[in-house]
């Protein structure tokens, strides 16, 4: 089943809806992973604006979780990167989330922008101290993320704050799919309609159950939390006007266009 968060053009009101036949949005009152009931309104998908599917309490990201990607990052940074010996989760910032078909804005002083197409886990139940065998039970569903990265800042800065968390650097969506098997899926990333990366979504160094079990030994996962599972493959350098599709078979396609900022940054302040 597919759930979208949407608004109606001209109205600030947001709601969740169930998406039927990839075309019809049946509005609900409440949220999909908690108490809710069907409302009377329904819309064509083309009539609504798709919003970020969930604004999480905490935004987790696996980071380095596919072996080929780690080797590519070594080449890119010129630094040896050890394959992580254990599933250590990281974080991204809620401020950076944008929806399907919203624009990624490239800061004026950014020099090297890349995509990272990722599977996103959406937590549906509070979870603490769960075993790997029971870990998947706290998942509500899955969506798609693009962990947009500025590689020069990733090398130069002490943290990933600018490299990965500038406003608009975290596209996520378009919807949450509850019936999905990562082991049988392929992730493909297209730039302007041309396939540039593809990998088996399930080829993770540490799987979803391993991460969730280990995380919940030390922390509580809450409904609405999201866990981005990392990426594989190579991104070309992106430029103004490029449209990036992250497509995961069985989930859908997250599409965003990259545009260069035309603002007035504070010169000399970096």
Contacts with a second copy, residue ranges (CB under 8 A) = 55, 57-58, 63-64, 84, 86, 88-96, 107, 128-129, 131, 157-159, 161-162, 165-167, 213-215, 217-222, 225, 263-266, 269-270
Closest to a second copy by CB, 75 vs 131, is: 131
The token pair that represents 243 in the structure block: 């449209």
Query: Nearest distance from residue 221's CB to a second copy, in Å?
Result: 8
Query: Nearest distance from residue 232's CB to a second copy, in Å?
Result: 18
Q: Is 140:122 a contact under the CB 8 Å cutoff?
A: yes
Query: Nearest distance from residue 62's CB to a second copy, in Å?
Result: 10
Query: Nearest distance from residue 106's CB to a second copy, in Å?
Result: 11
Closest to a second copy by CB, 15 vs 96, is: 96
Nearest to 139 by CA among 43, 229, 236, 209: 209
Contacts of 151 (CB under 8 A, 6+ apart): 76, 77, 112, 113, 114, 163
CA angle 150, 175, 137 (to 5 degrees): 100
Q: Residue 127, exposed/middle/buried by CB under 10 A (0-12, 13-18, 19+)?
A: buried
Closest to a second copy by CB, 167 vs 186, is: 167
Query: Nearest distance from residue 171's CB to a second copy, in Å?
Result: 15
Closest to a second copy by CB, 35 vs 179, is: 35
Closest to a second copy by CB, 57 vs 250, is: 57
Closest to a second copy by CB, 24 vs 126, is: 126
CB atoms within 10 A of CB 103: 13
Query: Nearest distance from residue 26's CB to a second copy, in Å?
Result: 29
The token pair that represents 41 in the structure block: 């309104």
Angstrom distance (rounded) from CA 188 to CA 196: 8
Contacts of 156 (CB under 8 A, 6+ apart): none
Site of tokens 């006007």: 241
């Amino acid at each position: 089943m597919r759930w979208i968060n949407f608004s109606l053009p001209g109205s600030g009101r947001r709601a969740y809806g169930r998406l039927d036949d990839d075309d019809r949005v049946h509005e609900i009152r409440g949220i999909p992973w908690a108490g809710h009931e069907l409302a009377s309104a329904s819309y064509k998908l083309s009539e609504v604006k798709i919003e970020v599917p969930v604004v999480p309490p905490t935004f987790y990201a696996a980071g380095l979780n596919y072996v080929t990607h780690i080797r590519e990052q070594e080449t890119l940074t010129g630094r040896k990167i050890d394959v992580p010996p254990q599933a250590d989760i990281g974080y991204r910032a809620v401020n950076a989330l944008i929806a399907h078909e919203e624009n990624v804005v490239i800061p004026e002083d950014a020099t090297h922008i890349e995509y990272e197409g990722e599977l996103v886990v959406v937590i549906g139940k509070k979870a603490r101290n769960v075993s790997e065998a029971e870990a998947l039970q706290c998942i509500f569903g899955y969506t798609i993320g693009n962990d947009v990265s500025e590689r020069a800042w990733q090398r130069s800065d002490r943290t990933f704050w600018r490299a990965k968390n500038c406003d608009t650097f975290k596209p996520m969506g378009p919807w949450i799919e509850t019936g999905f098997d990562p082991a049988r899926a392929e992730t493909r990333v297209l730039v302007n309609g041309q396939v540039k990366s593809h990998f088996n979504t399930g080829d993770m160094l540490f799987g979803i159950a391993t991460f969730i079990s280990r995380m919940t030994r030390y922390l509580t996962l809450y409904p609405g939390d999201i866990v981005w599972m990392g990426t594989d493959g190579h991104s070309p350098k992106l430029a103004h006007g490029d449209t990036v599709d992250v497509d995961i078979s069985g989930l859908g396609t997250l599409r965003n266009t990259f545009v260069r900022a035309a603002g007035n940054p504070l010169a000399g302040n970096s």
